[in-house]
Amino acid sequence: MCDYNTLTDEEKLHYHQLLLEAADKFGGKNFFLHLLEAIRETSPHPLTTANRTFTMELGEIKWNKVIFNDKLQLLQKMRTGESERQNLLPEESASNYKKVLNLVRTLKPIVFHVKPADKAQGPGFFFQPFEVVDEKTTRLNPLFDALFFCAIPTVKKILNYEPR
């Protein structure tokens, strides 16, 4: 999802609708983009915090399981080739297949709750990090990818996408 130029018009529209709905539930595009900027500025990566919470003035994200740095590093490495393979999982013959499968099994049950600080801004939303297509195909949830990994200009393009 993070390589905007390789997306088809249908994919752009799908991601646009998905991200726009999430942004509306967080208070609008500007609040959503402000959340992304706060996440990108945080070091170390917010997913590795021991208290499983990322808080900023406009809202917070909570999740129910600690994510260790080695899992985060592997996830970042695997997501770069996901769009080419249409799958987060590598080939079963790959040397890192078991590690990646273990990563998916570990992170799959996690639920992220995103809530604005002011309930009048919106109800918030929740999501899981992966979309399991079938037993051998797993993809990153576009919301998870957009919130924690994609470049902000790419997310802006998707949010502002208008079908031809």
pLDDT at 85 (0 to 100): 85
Grade residue 64 by pLDDT with cuts at 50, 70 and 90. Answer: very high
Grade residue 133 by pLDDT with cuts at 50, 70 and 90. Answer: confident
Q: Is the pLDDT of residue 40 over 90?
A: yes
What is the pairing mode between strands 112-116 and 59-63? antiparallel
Grade residue 163 by pLDDT with cuts at 50, 70 and 90. Answer: confident
pLDDT at 7 (0 to 100): 87
pLDDT at 18 (0 to 100): 96
pLDDT at 49 (0 to 100): 93
Closest alpha carbon to 124 in 60, 64, 74, 66: 60
